[in-house]
Structure 1
Amino acid sequence: MDKDFLNKLLATFTAETKERLAAISTGLVELEQSASPEREMELVEALFRETHSLKGAARSVNSAPIETVGHAMENLLSAMKRREIKQVPELFDLLHTSVDTIGALLPSLEAGPSPGEKERLRELVLRLHQAQRGTFSPPSLPPHPAPRAEQEESPHGGKAAAAHTVRISAGKLDTLLHQTEGMLTAKLAAAQRVEELRALRKDIATWEKEWKKALPALRRMRRQLKTETAGESPAGENDAPIRKLLDFLDWNYALTREGGYRMSRLTKGAEQDLLHLGDMVANLLEDVREALMLPFSSLLAILPKLVRDLSRDLGKETELLIEGESIEIDRRVLEEMKDPLVHLVRNCIDHGIESPGERERQGKPQRGKITVTVSLVESNRVEVVISDDGGGIDTGRLREAAAKLGLATPEGPDQAGEQDPISLIFASGISTSPIIDDISGRGLGLAIVREKVERLGGAIAVETEKGRGTAFRITLPLTLSTFRGVLVQAAGRLFVLPTTDVERVARKERTAFATVENRETIELDGRTLSYVRLDDVLELPRDERADNGKDHLSFFVLPTGQGGIAFGVDQVAGEQEVMIKGLGPQLRRVRNIAGATVLGSGKVVPILNSSDLVKSAVRLAATGGSSSHPAVVEESPSRAILVVEDSITARTLLKNILESAGYRVKTAVDGVDALTLLGTEDFDMVVSDVDMPRMNGFELTGRIRASRNLTDLPVVLVTSLDSREDRERGVDAGANAYIVKSSFDQSNLLDAVRRLI
């Protein structure tokens, strides 16, 4: 067989087998939980057919190991159809092990199994044959490693897929989408040209109007010249320049009128072209997006087996219910949401669902329930709710864990100015688990979940009731890259916010604004909202001229759990479709900024992060935010900081941030270089990475603490290592602050620096 053809055939077989394994795994979980004999037989029949087809496909590509396991599974399922064996947990464990084994064999189809794998396969087939006789023996060899998670996912929508389909690389579709989205910039540029043509046509109309006002005077002048010429006045010889000027004005008028007619036709043609281009771009974008849309079932297919296996490991009984899995969403959103969703479901089992004995004592069914519900909440947003009927979140233990990190007081939620204790669950480092294991206890999971959700332009909230359960509500955009945006101006600069995040935009008289307890407020629709200036929140110098003489002030409202916050702006410039562009890895996480876009004029405009804006506004109000941003406090020139970082990009970024704040900065490429500089120059602080060649940040910190001259020198570690063990190692080494790059915010760094020196 031709090698190229064989490779294509193996690729097709691999994709098909992944789909069949996903269907078999889902069917086994449902069969194990089924209480209806009729449904049980339907599922067994479906599993038998899937296994039979898998065996035949394996034979066609000469994959004897997969064919052998598939044939043994087919015989076992045939015995189940004839009701010759009982459906006991050991039977399902064996079938799931067989599915995992076949999945793990897929990457080595050409090379074949290793000697160790062959021995495991022989034992697995023997156990499958024994199970046909009702005998179940534990494996004598370690089980075959389970396939990677991405191998467990179905590559597309399964049963809902169209009958006539073509397999195409997702990377090619992504490239096609990016190129198609680039046409949006051309559409915006065309719209800008149309506006310029309209403005030019308006100017010509204004010119023509003014010309008509001057026309009677010109006619009188021409008649006067004719009269003087007819009377052969001596002055007539000197009138030649005036006649030339009048002739030129007549010619200019005729030419300009003709230009006005041509400009009108050109403008109408451009408007028609823009209309057609807009429709074409919109339709093309919609078609390509639909090609990249996948049903939630392609993501949720991994959950039934996850719930089953984890429940058995923890000695719990759990039922998983999924609703709305047919709703389609951007594949890129699904990819980003895989880990957060898995983490939340694991949390439900580990922290939420009680043991069967405990549930029975509480009068609950022994089997706990986890529900994943997907629903459309708007035309372009979707809500995912992950809920359980377990014991709920223990707010007392949560507050104790937060108090240890200085995020709350142990007295209770009545302390003035404290946040809702439930919201503390998303703080980094907080965990109510008594131990650290491979499932929980590190206190980083939910913080990462919220960060990923907000990075996608979504939001997450939690609801809990003691003894009744917990629910996490996640709202997500249906698609990425393009959206409708509100264009606002503040401090003389333009910004864009997603239209879906904005509750409303409005203008109010100055008399509608009031100051309550040193905080500005505004009355709107019977509600009293907090009012802040957008330029203050973004720490930009306010343009006082923008407000002078205005009887009305413009603002937009972002909703919050407590009602909403009004953000004052110079003006609301309009609404348009925009395409989001990332800021690059150097600016991956900038507070209040989600990305950037290019307007039709070619101007680059920042896209604001609505979630960050609300947090910044709350922080500004808590510190008694001023009506105008204060001038930057100049640091003493004697404050010198040594930045130790092996990456030139990160080193440059840190250096620029600190120098912009007024500090003198020198850099070193690793710990050895840093110690050399510390021995020859005086510094007030060291800001260091951890993972570096020759001497890492932990070792450098230890050497600084061991030095008689440097022992009191503040050290801040800025690193991508975010595990609790790494944090504890940094503290043990003597670091004064530990900042994780994944949640890096320049204000966090500057706050730490100002506190320590």
Structure 2
Amino acid sequence: MTSPDNAALLQRLLATFKVEADERLKGMSVLLVELEQTSAGARVAQIVETLFREAHSLKGAARAVNLNSVEMVCASLESELAALKGQERAVPPALIDALSGGIDELAALLAPGTVSGVPGAPAFPSPQAIEERAKPPSSQDQGATAPSSETVRISTAKLEMLHAEAEELLAFKYSLGDLIGELDALSAAMAGFRKSWDKPANHARLVQRAGEKTSGEHAAVGPDDENGGEADRRHTTDKLITAVLCAEGFAKTMEDRLARLRAQAEREQRAMSSATAQLQDDVRQALMMPFTSLFDILPKLVHDLARDSEKSVALRIDNATVEVDRRILEQLKDPVIHLIRNAVDHGIEAPVERTRRNKPAQGQISLSVIPMEGNKVELVMADDGAGIDLAKVRETAARFGLIAPQDTPGIQETLKLIFESGLSTSPLLTDLSGRGLGLAIVREKVERMGGNVEVMQRDTGGTSFRIVLPTMLATFRGLVVTAAGRPFVMPLRNVARVLRVTADDIKTVENVATVAIDGQAVALVYLAQALDLTTPAIDAPENEYLFLALLENAGRRIAFAVDEVLGDQEVQVKGLGPQLNRVPNVAGATVLGAGRVVPVLNVPDLFKSALHGPRRAPAYPAAQTPARTRQSLLVVEDSITSRSLLTHILESAGYDVTTAVDGLDGLTAARSRKFDLVVSDVEMPRMDGFELTARLRQDKKLSNLPVVLVTGLESREDKERGIEVGANAYIVKSSFDQSNLLETIRGIL
């Protein structure tokens, strides 16, 4: 065997060894944690014996691939474990720590980039040794995680390549559907063409039969020179008749052929759809892995963190055999590890403190996996620690400007604040916490996978994090919409409803367009505006309806206005490549029918753009009031100062202003002359702004008169009452400025 052959073989053996070593180290870590928690008995001897066999097997495998450093560490572990074999008493904590250190050293030696082969190195395995290693292991030497004889190892890169190739077939399936649509259109056109020829063809047959009869009569009389011109005309007519009848026959033949072709294409599409779906499902199943592959590293992690924090913590894992897409587990690793670190560092108290609170000295962390309907899975991580200090969270949030100092949000609103970037209640900056970035990253990574995360305070004490994720990545169902004349795909899992509204359904609260959905006011944002696109649909709507897609994300709901809703279909998400690794509002792209590349929207990004981007008053899709040189406004305000201020602002903007001192005076003024809009305070003597608005809506002549309420009442109940009585806009004086008022009025008039 040549040297290059030796080098190639060694590289293949190293790859196999890396997988085997990783499995054995995970198993040894789990056994070591169990050994620490087992006080005495036959189980101690069993665990020690299993650990000894694992170390011995790993030492032999390392020797076969020339990894002397790994072999030496395994030999050291083997010696320590040999001294413990047969005993049934508890293993001293110091020895447990020493064994744990040895496993950590092996993990470091086997980390990516550190395992490499040296071509031509001594002790290279002989062909006989290679054949021996290829034999299935005996039951005595086989580890708990060794594969059965019916399995075969294949690199995940190859599986993912097969998965991508299977998903590429979706584009052909969609294209075939478009071709069938084109055939339908062509068949309909041909049917119409043939129908249009029915009458000329019938007329041509009548003319043909009459011509044959006339020709016979002329033949009986005999030809002469005078009949020469008539014969030419008959010949020309015959040619035209023949052409008409041939065209009719051709149309009928083409119509039949198109019908057969469409039927064949439809059969091919059904067959391809079935085969594609089956292939995708098979490859997806090959990529599925149980949660145990992620959770195996956690017991040792909890043990090490607790030891460093001088705490006692036990980890319980339930239902970890549930399988999900391997890529989900890879992306979930960092969020889970961070939540575990948080629980040990922030949640679980020191043994002395727990004893003082009448708790067991040992803290508890539980991880449970719950399958859900709709190809989703729920991961719940809970601890029995001190819980989250809500007062400290509010204080820190106010210091960072996340809430107003005087605000006292409820429990759930306060708990949501811990996911904000930069917010940390830890007084110290440690290697575990204190930077205030971890939970924000947890939420971002979970949402990037199409999931959501929420936190709850447990009634029994402690904190519970609930993460809901899809079991599969890549393909999903999406809602296809258009904005600014361009198509976009919204993940259907975030779409709560699709509806259409009219101008009367749209109200303005604090200069924010809202629409009532299921009895609640929901913010309304143009999708084109959120994406920073120029769209004629905003300025010149073509019909009286506005189409909305109600999206949900992290407990929030926003109604996005779109040009059209084209329907939903299964789509395949593709990355944008390294050149466009992070594009705001875009999660990737997909190919729809006819080869159109369409962006897939990133809903969390979209919500940020909608909530924090520049707002624009909505241009309602109803017939607009014709512009006049000077529009007349009625200002109803009991405060002389406020009334003078509003009058000055509105007159400077070019409006004619009439004032009233309270609601009753304002109602009398509105009935006595014509106004284009009413600006009213709420808290006034004799008749407040709510009652004034309600009375205007009850008056047939004034029911359509726009009303803007400007008030100091800023509670949610007051805003909802303003919408209920029929106000078009609600502006709070604490956030009032001149541009807000004028922009709101211009958006309504």
State the TM-score, normalized to the length of structure 2.
0.70
> Which one has a bigger Cα radius of gyration?
2
2:173 to 180, 183, 187: 187
Aligned-residue CA RMSD (Å): 3.5
CA distance in 1, matches of 2:559, 2:495: 10
- Asked if the contact 2:201/2:245 (under 8 Å) is kept, the reply is no
Deviation at 1:493, TM superposition (A): 2.1
Deviation at 1:603, TM superposition (A): 1.2
1:433 to 426, 431, 434: 426
Counterpart of 2:283? 288
Counterpart of 2:550? 557
Counterpart of 1:684? none
2:161 to 169, 175, 183: 175
- Asked if the contact 2:513/2:618 (under 8 Å) is kept, the reply is no
- Asked if the contact 1:394/1:466 (under 8 Å) is kept, the reply is no
Mapping of 1:134-149 within 5 angstroms? none
Counterpart of 1:515? 507
2:527 to 516, 525, 534: 534
DSSP 3-state at the match of 1:375:
strand
1:627 to 619, 643, 648: 619
1:197 to 165, 179, 183: 183
Percentage of pairs with the same residue = 43
- Asked if the contact 2:490/2:601 (under 8 Å) is kept, the reply is yes
Mapping of 1:349-498 within 5 angstroms? 349-413=344-408, 420-464=413-457, 468-498=461-491
The residue type paired with residue 169 of structure 2 is: M
Say if 1:38 and 1:267 are closer, same or farther in 2 by CA, change over 3 A: farther
Say if 1:560 and 1:202 are closer, same or farther in 2 by CA, change over 3 A: same
Deviation at 1:593, TM superposition (A): 1.9
The residue type paired with residue 450 of structure 2 is: G
Mapping of 1:201-240 within 5 angstroms? 201-226=187-212, 228-230=214-216, 232=218, 237-240=232-235
Deviations 1:135-180 (CA, angstroms, capped at 9, x unpaired): xxxxxxxxxxxxxxxxxxxxxx984965422223332333333233
Deviation at 1:73, TM superposition (A): 3.6
Unaligned runs of 5+ in 1: 113-156, 630-757
Counting matched residue pairs gives: 580
- Asked if the contact 1:353/1:368 (under 8 Å) is kept, the reply is yes
CA distance in 2, matches of 1:246, 1:413: 90
- Asked if the contact 2:290/2:323 (under 8 Å) is kept, the reply is yes
Mapping of 1:234-273 within 5 angstroms? 237-273=232-268
Say if 1:364 and 1:252 are closer, same or farther in 2 by CA, change over 3 A: same
CA distance in 2, matches of 1:218, 1:533: 59
1:32 to 33, 36, 41: 36
- Higher mean displacement: 348-357 or 77-86: 77-86
Counterpart of 1:591? 584
The residue type paired with residue 626 of structure 1 is: P
- Asked if the contact 2:40/2:90 (under 8 Å) is kept, the reply is no
- Asked if the contact 2:41/2:89 (under 8 Å) is kept, the reply is no
CA distance in 2, matches of 1:527, 1:399: 26
Counterpart of 1:343? 338
Deviation at 1:288, TM superposition (A): 2.3
Deviations 1:210-254 (CA, angstroms, capped at 9, x unpaired): 333444333344344445545658656434433322211211111
Mapping of 1:623-702 within 5 angstroms? 623=615, 625-627=617-619
The residue type paired with residue 543 of structure 1 is: A
Deviation at 1:64, TM superposition (A): 5.7
CA distance in 1, matches of 2:616, 2:563: 22
Say if 1:61 and 1:615 are closer, same or farther in 2 by CA, change over 3 A: closer
DSSP 3-state at the match of 1:409:
coil
1:20 to 24, 29, 37: 24
Deviations 1:520-569 (CA, angstroms, capped at 9, x unpaired): 5556566665544433433441426996446x654333235667443343
Deviations 1:564-622 (CA, angstroms, capped at 9, x unpaired): 443343332222221212223444333322111111211111111222334444447x9
Unaligned runs of 5+ in 2: 120-142, 219-226, 622-749
Task: Say whether 1:327 aligns with 2:350.
Answer: no
2:97 to 93, 96, 101: 93
Say if 1:362 and 1:599 are closer, same or farther in 2 by CA, change over 3 A: same
Mapping of 1:111-190 within 5 angstroms? 159=145, 163-190=149-176
Say if 1:38 and 1:272 are closer, same or farther in 2 by CA, change over 3 A: farther
CA distance in 1, matches of 2:201, 2:472: 59
Q: Which aligned runs of 4 or more in structure 1 are off by greater than 6 angstroms? A: none
Say if 1:514 and 1:108 are closer, same or farther in 2 by CA, change over 3 A: closer
- Asked if the contact 1:391/1:467 (under 8 Å) is kept, the reply is no
DSSP 3-state at the match of 1:572:
strand
- Asked if the contact 2:27/2:145 (under 8 Å) is kept, the reply is no
Deviations 1:341-390 (CA, angstroms, capped at 9, x unpaired): 21121111111111111112222221111222223323433222222221
Say if 1:509 and 1:109 are closer, same or farther in 2 by CA, change over 3 A: closer
The residue type paired with residue 365 of structure 1 is: P
2:537 to 519, 535, 543: 543
Say if 1:544 and 1:521 are closer, same or farther in 2 by CA, change over 3 A: closer
CA distance in 2, matches of 1:235, 1:174: 80
Deviation at 1:298, TM superposition (A): 1.5
The residue type paired with residue 581 of structure 1 is: K
- Higher mean displacement: 475-484 or 541-550: 541-550
The residue type paired with residue 292 of structure 2 is: S
